[in-house]
Copies of this chain bind each other. A is one copy, B any other.
Amino acid sequence: MVQTQAPTRTVDEILSWYAGQNPGVLTNLYRLLNHGRLAGTGKMVILPVDQGFEHGPARSFAANPAAYDPLYHFRLAIAAGCNAYAAPLGFLEAGAAQFAGQIPLILKLNSHDILFDEPNPLGAQTASVKDALRLGAVGVGYTIYPGTENRRWQYEQLREIAEEAKDNGLVVVVWAYARGGDLAKEAETALDTVTYAAQIAAQLGAHIIKVKLPSAHVADKKSKQLLEENGIAIDNLSDRVSYLIRSAFDGRRIVINSGGAAKGDDAVFDEIRAIRDGGGFGSIIGRNTFQRAWDESMEFINTVIEIYKGDR
């Protein structure tokens, strides 16, 4: 069993990577890093609830009908001691006044539904930086799909949003999922693809980057050869997390991961350990929390937090 450790990267060090950003951005980064049970550790657990829009209400909430209520998620994120709660406009508007100040909020600014299913998803901007400010959020979120034919419009929309957000002291969180007709399904989570997506998000000026956990597959032949020739280890998940972190400005940008496809809890906890051991910064955990009963989700998040703290 892993022993508790003093945090290896303090908040001060993390903030130093963002030197040059205005005090507003640093303040909101600080708020994110110093909230909840992982406050001050440099690790994060964020509750995202964008599934209502992305997958529809039945797929998202029928398994735990209490979750149809937007207030439920505020309560969940607060009670579990998460660092932040991220959701689209409607869900945040529904509770931002009642829970004002109790949990850092991240407003997702674009959304995509699956009522018309596209191989090259484009998403729509569904909220603004002004909305985020009006709701008291610490940051904004935006999803890009590198690999899609029209990714250009996403990058340009993100550019405008990020500029306005930073001007207004908001943190910019970018979800980067490689997709698109040219990419085989397996390539979407390939190590080189995921790290390329993370690199793009970083170059676009993201403060925090959210990607999937990379598989051991490397889709691009030349990248594969270069990784091998230069002895970069990728067999273990923790190695891949290390390489992911390195790929996103050598650890100078906060990169967090989602758990990916449904699986047993133990498998998820093993992934969390790999993120921790690989030097990752934390997790975005949605379906494994609000899609089970309150007590079970509390226990689940508790375990995740204890793993990040090094207690398990």
Which one of A5-13, A74-82, A242-250 contacts B?
A242-250
**Contact among B96, B117, B148, B196 with A57 in the assembled complex (CB-CB below 8 Å):** B196
Contact (Cβ within 8 A) A155 B126: yes
**Assembly CA distance A89 to B131 (angstroms):** 25
Contact (Cβ within 8 A) A199 B56: yes
Q: A73-114: contact bitstring with B at CB < 8 Å (1 yes, 0 no)?
A: 000000000000000111101101110000000000001010
**Contact among B94, B131, B153 with A163 in the assembled complex (CB-CB below 8 Å):** B131
Which one of A59-67, A269-277, A303-311 contacts B?
A59-67
The residues of B that contact A296 with a CB separation of less than 8 Å are: none
The residues of B that contact A261 with a CB separation of less than 8 Å are: none
The residues of B that contact A250 with a CB separation of less than 8 Å are: 68-70, 72
With A20-B93, A192-B56 already in contact, the answer to whether A203 and B111 are too (CB < 8 A) is yes
**Assembly CA distance A59 to B225 (angstroms):** 9
Q: A164-201: contact bitstring with B at CB < 8 Å (1 yes, 0 no)?
A: 00000000000000101011000000001101111110
**Contact among B70, B156, B198 with A125 in the assembled complex (CB-CB below 8 Å):** B156
Contact (Cβ within 8 A) B115 A230: no
User: What is the distance, in angstroms, from A251's C-beta to the closest C-beta of chain B?
Assistant: 8
Supply 9 further A-B pairs (C-beta < 8 A) apart from A20-B93, A111-B155.
A20-B96, A52-B202, A56-B195, A58-B222, A63-B226, A115-B193, A116-B147, A116-B180, A124-B153
A-B contact pairs, 7 of them (CB 8 A): A58-B247, A62-B229, A65-B246, A70-B250, A126-B204, A126-B205, A128-B163
